[in-house]
Amino acid sequence: MSYLNTHFQEQFDSLDSSVRIIVIHPNFSQQHVALKYALRSGHASYLRLTGRALTPDDLEGQIKAAGIKLKSGMTLILDECDRAAQDAIGPYLRAAVLPQIKKGRVILLGRDVPVGLLDDPELRAQMAFVPVDPDAMLADYTQARAAGVHLLEVWGFGRGRVLIDGRPISNWDGVLPRALFFYFVDRGMTTRSEIFDAFWPNMQVREATNVFHVTKRKISEVLGIDLTLFSSGFYHLAPNLELYYDVRLFNNLVQGSGVAEPDAAMMMLRKALGLYRGAFVSGLDSPWARLRREQTAQAFGDALVAQARLLEAQDNIKEALNLYSRAANLQPPRDDAMERVFELAHALDRHGDALTIYRNFERYLREHLKIAPVVPLQQLAERAAAAVK
């Protein structure tokens, strides 16, 4: 069982009786595990909603059509609750569900944050998101809203995803505002000259200044708040923002694992690898973004190899081999990982698997870097080929 699944069960079981609305965190990748666990609750009734922009009357109709009778102490589980209109589910729960189930609970599952519930102070006081884990990009929306800060969630690995106070940002009004946004978030603190060098190195300062301020204003309009504050010659992220940023979390976990005890290091690396969902912000093609892509890919390889070494120390050879194999197939591939693939595959009598990985490794080097693998790796490949015969 993964640490997040264990984390979910522990948090779910420890909820206070005053919590009557449980939201399975929309960023929790294993909601099916949460659903299975929630169904163990006594007197649980499950309904998967259908349709779009459901009204309170629609919700009432689907519950009745499913033959669900609301009664005291029961648990009502509503799946795909994001099919309900944001301004509908809160009033419906408050007026038609919670009074009837009394000491019972409502469990909500969906792909989006139910911001309509968060906007209602009465309902928010009875809500809890499960699981919550800042290191896994599982924010506690109720606490952020109660504290009066704006919760900014940024996923830099993969396509690049942004939420502000639980609401997704999909329209950036152009490529440049999105690129500058990710630059600000990734840097955290930067000067105007650094920004100009990254985005407008060949433009006159006056022209660059105009474009910069227009672009920065567009970011504020898209988010609905100011992203940055200028102070002492630097642009900082605004102090009323609580930032969850997967790339920063990833780097902190990988760096922290290097000085931690083995068990703690293993947990930190598992969390870090779970955050890596692909190359840094696909679609951004400026030099600074390409550099960050290379840096984060290198850090990902370092994390794979570091965890594989810890697993080797625990004699968990099979899982270590899997991680070394992933590192050997990175672009560019890693010699150290390829060497360990050969050695562990030899110990497990999986020479053919090692040769398959090596051929991909060799092909990349020859086609993209115009070099051959180092001689020791060629010798290990010859040994594996002889063992297969």
Residue-wise DSSP of 173-230:
SSHHHHHHHHHHHHHSEE-HHHHHHHH-TTS-HHHHHHHHHHHHHHHHHHHTS--EEE
In the predicted structure, residue 3 carries a pLDDT above the cut 80 = no
Q: In which element (H, E) is residue 106 found? A: strand 105-108
In the predicted structure, residue 4 carries a pLDDT above the cut 80 = no
Confidence of residue 246 (pLDDT cuts 50, 70, 90): very high
Confidence of residue 66 (pLDDT cuts 50, 70, 90): very high
Confidence of residue 29 (pLDDT cuts 50, 70, 90): confident
What would the pLDDT profile of 118-158 be if each residue is shown by its tens digit? 999 999 999 999 999 999 999 999 988 888 889 999 999 99
Q: Which of 191, 208, 210 is nearest to 200 (CA)?
A: 208
Per DSSP, 158 falls in state S
Q: Give the mean model confidence (pLDDT) for residues 236-252.
A: 96
Highest mean pLDDT among 38-42, 144-148, 208-212: 208-212
Percent of the chain with pLDDT over 70: 99
The CATH number of domain 270-276+285-388 is 3.40.50.300: no
13-17, 180-184, 242-246: lowest mean pLDDT where?
Answer: 13-17
- Chain Cα centroid distance, residue 312: 28
The CATH number of domain 3-147 is 3.40.50: yes
Per DSSP, the three-state class of 16 is: coil
Q: What is the pLDDT of residue 389?
A: 72
Q: Give the mean model confidence (pLDDT) for residues 165-172.
A: 94
Reported pTM: 0.92
In the predicted structure, residue 14 carries a pLDDT above the cut 60 = yes
Q: What is the pLDDT of residue 58?
A: 97
Q: Give the mean model confidence (pLDDT) for residues 217-246.
A: 96
- What gap in Å lies between CA 276 and CA 348, rounded to an integer? 28
Q: Are 151 and 166 in contact (CB under 8 A)?
A: yes
- What gap in Å lies between CA 213 and CA 204, rounded to an integer? 14
- What gap in Å lies between CA 71 and CA 103, rounded to an integer? 9
Joined together, the tokens standing for residue 40 give: 């163990």
Per DSSP, the three-state class of 127 is: strand
Confidence of residue 249 (pLDDT cuts 50, 70, 90): very high
In whole numbers, what is the pLDDT of the chain averaged over residues?
A: 94
Per DSSP, 291 falls in state H
Q: What is the pLDDT of residue 37?
A: 86
In the predicted structure, residue 388 carries a pLDDT above the cut 90 = no
In the predicted structure, residue 28 carries a pLDDT above the cut 70 = yes
Q: Give the mean model confidence (pLDDT) for residues 68-89.
A: 94
CATH of domain 149-269+277-284: 1.10.10.10
**∠ CA 327-26-244, rounded to 5°:** 65
Confidence of residue 38 (pLDDT cuts 50, 70, 90): confident
Q: What is the pLDDT of residue 41?
A: 65
Q: What is the pLDDT of residue 12?
A: 92
Q: What is the pLDDT of residue 331?
A: 85
Confidence of residue 42 (pLDDT cuts 50, 70, 90): low
Domain boundaries, the chain: 3-147, 149-269+277-284, 270-276+285-388
